[in-house]
């Protein structure tokens, strides 16, 4: 038993590895609301384990060329922060760069995925349905009547993101099946949607409408899109009415927006939205001062506190600028912004251009939906830079791209020359 355990970690043969892959993706994509940062440990340790075996040659580089381009995009984000940290060195910058090593684990995690694509998709969708159905009773048991649910994610905005991923997976499963089993996934999607609403994270609420529309356009023909849109309008109109009537969180968060907008119009910037206005003003001024390489990852927090004090007489200390583009500009300047844009654009472009079977089409839908989730999160909050955000993003990219492209095993020398392996001269 001990020898088998050591063999698995030190000298793995990567045979009968499907159960490892299935467990990994089910945990990292579906269990964050219940496990919190444990998913980061899963992805981080998986990345280290796979990368070490990739570097030693025991694990083959199995990334298709389009997926290799995505890995370069991940490496670009890491490199941009590293360059900014070298220009503006500090302990905070060193810590931030070390945390970004997770992005370099993308290649190893992809290369160590061996499972059948259709089986992987089906298993993760079932896990997403189970997790979504369990999320609501768990949230009520953990938080009761609290206004904004956090669960094990530890933050309402983070829970909204991972809850949105559950919603995405269930909507995709329902849209793909379009049969009786779709009803279970629709019920699970409703639970995931309610979980997102319970977090009170308003930036994620548009996802609840955009994702079903995306599913209609990717999974169905034109003759189904028109009636499908009508059904969506009726369903979401009714859901909005119910939430406005019975949901305390929905009512309070909408009321807070109205109150903050009125306060801003009256010149009062002390509210939540008012503080964001002050952050954006200070952030724009700081970005203009150092536009190319920024202030170095982690250093922007002190700079933001200083600039808000200069502009308004009161310092505002946040871990980020509540906008992904502005946060990136302050961390690593235009270089980092270009790298982040590549990380968003390259995966979508290569997956869109690929020839896709049913699993591939599902992968493209999930990939597109994940980008929508993260862009909505980064619009007025954090996109990347949180351990759960980063871990789930890396896992979701590996999962969705694997569904589209699968893996490509390297050719043996005699195969590359056009002869079958083991053939004579």
Whether 262 is in a domain gets the answer no
Nearest-angstrom CA–CA distance, 117 and 313: 57
Whether 16 is in a domain gets the answer no
Contacts of 157 (CB under 8 A, 6+ apart): 199, 201, 203, 204, 377, 381, 382
Residue 136: its pLDDT value, please? Answer: 83
Range of the domain at 75: 21-255+318-407
Among the listed residues 136, 3, 24, the one whose alpha carbon sits nearest the alpha carbon of residue 398: 24
User: pTM for the whole thing?
Assistant: 0.87
Whether 132 is in a domain gets the answer yes
Whether 284 is in a domain gets the answer no
Can you tell me which residue has the tokens 């010149």? 267
**Do 51 and 414 contact (CB within 8 A), yes or no?**
no
Whether 90 is in a domain gets the answer yes
Q: Domain tally for the chain?
A: 1
Whether 203 is in a domain gets the answer yes
Residue 247: its pLDDT value, please? Answer: 57
Nearest-angstrom CA–CA distance, 51 and 59: 8
Residue 5: its pLDDT value, please? Answer: 55
For 9-38, how does the pLDDT look when each residue is reduced to its tens digit (9 = 90+)?
Answer: 666 767 778 899 999 999 999 999 999 999
Whether 344 is in a domain gets the answer yes
Nearest-angstrom CA–CA distance, 163 and 138: 13
Residue 146: its pLDDT value, please? Answer: 54
Whether 421 is in a domain gets the answer no
For 349-388, how does the pLDDT look when each residue is reduced to its tens digit (9 = 90+)?
Answer: 999 999 999 999 999 999 999 999 999 999 988 899 899 9
Nearest-angstrom CA–CA distance, 241 and 257: 18
Nearest-angstrom CA–CA distance, 165 and 169: 6
| Region label for 57, one of left (φ > 0), alpha (ψ between -120 and 50) or beta (otherwise) | left
Instruction: List the pLDDT tens digit at each of the 425 positions of the chain.
Output: 555 555 566 667 677 788 999 999 999 999 999 999 999 999 999 999 999 999 988 888 999 999 999 999 999 999 999 999 999 999 989 999 999 999 999 999 999 999 999 999 999 999 999 999 998 888 777 665 556 788 888 889 999 999 999 999 999 998 887 777 788 888 898 889 888 888 888 888 889 888 988 887 786 654 555 555 555 555 555 565 555 554 566 666 666 666 666 666 666 556 666 677 778 888 888 888 999 999 999 888 888 888 878 877 677 767 777 889 999 999 999 999 999 999 999 999 999 999 999 999 999 999 999 999 999 999 988 899 899 999 999 999 999 999 999 998 766 544 444 544 333 32
């Amino acid at each position: 038993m001990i020898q088998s355990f050591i063999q698995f970690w030190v000298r793995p043969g990567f045979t009968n590895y499907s159960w490892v892959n299935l467990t990994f993706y089910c945990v990292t994509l579906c269990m964050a609301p219940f496990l919190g940062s444990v998913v980061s440990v899963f992805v981080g340790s998986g990345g280290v384990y796979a990368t070490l075996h990739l570097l030693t040659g025991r694990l083959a580089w199995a990334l298709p060329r389009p997926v290799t381009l995505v890995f370069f995009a991940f490496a670009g984000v890491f490199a941009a922060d590293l360059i900014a940290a070298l220009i503006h060195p500090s302990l905070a910058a060193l810590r931030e760069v070390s945390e970004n090593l997770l992005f370099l684990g993308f290649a190893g995690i992809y290369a160590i995925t061996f499972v059948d694509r259709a089986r992987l998709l089906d298993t993760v969708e079932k896990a997403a349905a189970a997790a979504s159905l369990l999320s609501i009773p768990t949230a009520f048991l953990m938080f009761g009547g609290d206004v904004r649910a956090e669960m094990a994610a530890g933050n309402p905005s983070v829970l909204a993101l991972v809850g949105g991923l559950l919603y995405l997976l269930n909507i995709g499963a329902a849209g793909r099946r379009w049969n009786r089993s779709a009803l279970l996934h629709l019920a699970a999607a409703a639970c995931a949607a309610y979980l997102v609403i319970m977090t009170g994270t308003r930036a994620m609420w548009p996802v609840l409408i955009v994702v079903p529309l995306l599913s209609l356009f990717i999974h169905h023909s034109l003759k189904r899109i028109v009636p499908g849109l009508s059904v969506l309008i009726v369903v979401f109109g009714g859901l909005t009415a119910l939430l406005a009537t019975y949901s305390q969180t929905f009512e309070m968060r909408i009321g807070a927006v109205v109150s903050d907008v009125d306060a801003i119009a009256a010149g009062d910037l002390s509210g939540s939205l008012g503080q964001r206005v002050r952050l954006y003003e200070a952030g724009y001024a700081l970005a203009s001062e150092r536009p190319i390489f920024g202030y170095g990852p982690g250093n922007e927090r002190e700079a933001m506190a200083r600039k808000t004090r200069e502009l308004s007489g009161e310092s505002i200390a946040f871990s980020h600028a509540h906008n992904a583009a502005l946060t990136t500009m302050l961390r690593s300047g235009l270089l980092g912004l270009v790298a982040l844009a590549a990380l968003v654009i390259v995966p979508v472009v290569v997956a869109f251009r690929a020839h896709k079977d049913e699993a591939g089409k599902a992968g493209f839908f999930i990939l597109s939906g994940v980008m929508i989730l993260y862009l909505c999160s980064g619009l007025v909050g954090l996109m990347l830079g949180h351990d759960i955000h980063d871990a789930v993003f890396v896992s979701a990219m590996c999962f969705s791209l694997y569904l589209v492209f699968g893996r490509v095993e390297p050719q043996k020398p005699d195969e590359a020359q056009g002869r079958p392996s083991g053939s004579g001269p």
